[in-house]
Amino acid sequence: MSRRRTLGPKKKLALLLSAATVAGGGAFVMATTSNAGTPPATTKSAADSTVCQGLATALGNNERFIEGQRAAPDAQSEARIANREAVIAQIRRQQEASGCTVGESAQDSRTAQPEQPAPSQPAPSQPAGNDQGGQAGGDGAAASGEQVCNGSTVTLSGEGGAPAASSNQFPAGTKLKVTNLDNDKSTTVEVTSVSGSCVLLNNAAFEQVREAGKFLIRRAVIEKVG
């Protein structure tokens, strides 16, 4: 009759510890391999995403506005700058939430408008006094119903409140109609403050004409209506 060999308590404990060590090492290797195969999170730039481009433009316009206030301050400049700094902080949070490069800034170079010809020398392609499609002068002297700011893109300022706009072309109280040609939505808003663009919509106004998920309107028609 053969004898069955039995292990003592100490040998059993040693074998269990060895097995646990091997299993743990295998789990560690698997976890390391899994992590190594996961690509790091990347951020998108304005060149990669329309959303990021819109946010970068909004950030740049607000930064330009602050620069202008600091270059030529008045009694209200400090309050305006504080307000726009809060707007910039909100835009940065939106950039982070959208996976964009936080702090990326792009000023809309197309907002600068060419000078109007002198009244005695109207543009040859259009009769004097009927400059439809012409540009607004810096004093906002465009006729009511006239298309202005040709070629300008439209984005949001990040400001809250009732639908409104800010502008570097038109004084407070001017009414502008903004139409998004990509979805045929339009809104008519009153200019309430100064910005670094021909027209910059606040959050409520931008929501009325935006396409879902976009922070930039590339194809816009802007009209002075009052």
Closest CA to 148 of 189, 176, 185: 176
More confident position, 182 or 151: 182
Quick one: pLDDT band at residue 89, thresholds 50, 70, 90? confident
Select from 177, 208, 207, 209 the least CA-distant residue to 190.
177
Q: Which domain holds residue 205?
A: 50-110+131-224
Higher per-residue confidence, 129 vs 74: 74
Decide if 184 is inside a domain. Answer: yes
Mean pLDDT of the chain: 73
What's the CATH code of the domain at 139? Answer: 2.40.40.10
pLDDT tens per residue, range 19-30: 545 444 444 334
Residue type present at position 179:
T
Residue-wise burial string across 200-224, b where 16 or more C-beta atoms lie within 10 A, e elsewhere: bbbbbbbeebbeeebbbbeebbbbb
Mean pLDDT of 196-200: 85
Which strands, in side-by-side order, build the sheet including 146-148? 146-148, 220-224, 175-180, 185-194, 165-167, 200-201
Of the pLDDT bands very low, low, confident and very high (cuts 50, 70, 90), residue 211 is very high
Residue 9: per-residue pLDDT:
61
194 domain-assigned: yes
For residue 170, give the nearest of 139, 195, 209 by alpha carbon: 139
In a domain, 169, yes or no: yes
In a domain, 63, yes or no: yes
pLDDT, position 124: 36
Residue 172 pLDDT > 80: yes
User: Can you tell me the distance from the alpha carbon of 130 to that of 118, in angstroms, rounded to the nearest whole number?
Assistant: 14
User: Does residue 23 lie within any of the structural domains?
Assistant: no
DSSP code at position 136: P
Residue 213 within any structural domain of the chain: yes
How many angstroms separate the CA atoms of 78 and 152, rounded? 28
Tell me what the mean pLDDT of segment 109-123 comes to.
37
Among 71-75, 139-143, 145-149, 201-205, the minimum mean pLDDT is found in 139-143
Q: Which of 131, 145, 152 is nearest to 196 (CA)?
A: 152
Number of domains into which the chain is organized: 1
In a domain, 3, yes or no: no
- CA distances to 8, 34, 185, 194, 219 from 53, rounded to whole Å, are 72, 34, 21, 22, 14
The pLDDT tens digits for 32-79 are 444 444 444 577 887 778 788 888 888 888 888 888 889 988 887 887
Query: Does residue 13 form part of some domain?
Result: no
SS3 113: coil
pLDDT-based confidence at 208, cuts 50/70/90?
very high
**188 — phi, psi (to 5°)?**
-110, 120
